Amino acid sequence: ETGVTQTPRHLVMGMTNKKSLKCEQHLGHNAMYWYKQSAKKPLELMFVYSLEERVENNSVPSRFSPECPNSSHLFLHLHTLQPEDSALYLCASSQEVNSGNTIYFGEGSWLTVV
Amino acid sequence: QKEVEQDPGPLSVPEGAIVSLNCTYSNSAFQYFMWYRQYSRKGPELLMYTYSSGNKEDGRFTAQVDKSSKYISLFIRDSQPSDSATYLCAMSFTGANSKLTFGKGITLSVRP
């Protein structure tokens, strides 16, 4: 079992649907992240949480809504997405937020918007 | 100029070859340098982690940082088909709020 677990692994949704991605980390870390990975692009940081508080939101459209109920769980709520939002969404965690420490990724949730 | 540049590849080598993967960067303030390996349809996993300049070796893998040239490398000796994956370089500053900056990744295929 990996230290960072993501569900579902695959998701197909219509543009009018509402769905959520879930992430759980078992590493005792204080920081959690959502990244977007698209083909031929660098990883894009979307959101950063430190001890359940959002500390960074990198100009992400409001159709993506994060939620961090505690330091071990992170959600990404999705609604009225566009086809260009189809990508691999990666959750990650680190001991402290953005401190230069290494981060550990989950296996990702493959999202297809039709 | 992009902050981190990585050869786009793909790269295909025969089994047993020495592989050299490289990234260049523009910001001399980067201090932490990492290589992640990502297998198909999986998340990235940390492969090597170095601080500042120098070399670090771990089995068949060697990470090299040349801060004067703003250039980092990952060498894979005696490459195996199981090394076939996408390799991402990443780097960050020291201190708080130092997020990782990633390269685009290069896909390596090791032919049996």
In this predicted structure, what is the pLDDT of residue B100? 86
Chains A–B, number of C-beta pairs less than 8 Å apart? 56
End-to-end CA distance of chain A: 31
The reply to whether A102 touches chain B by the CB within 8 Å rule is yes
Calculate the average pLDDT of chain A.
90
Q: Is residue A72 scored above 60 in pLDDT?
A: yes
Picking from A6, A45, A106, the nearest residue to B99 by CB comes out as A45
pLDDT digits (tens, 9 = 90+) for B40-54: 888 999 999 888 888
Q: Which tops the pLDDT comparison, A96 or B13?
A: B13
DSSP string, B38-98: E-TTS--EEEEEEESSEEEEETTEEEEEETTTTEEEEEESS--GGG-EEEEEEEE-SSTTB
In this predicted structure, what is the pLDDT of residue B38? 95
From chain A, pick out residues whose CB is under 8 angstroms from the CB of B27: none
In this predicted structure, what is the pLDDT of residue B1? 62
Find, among B10, B11, B9, B7, the residue nearest to B71 by Cα. B7
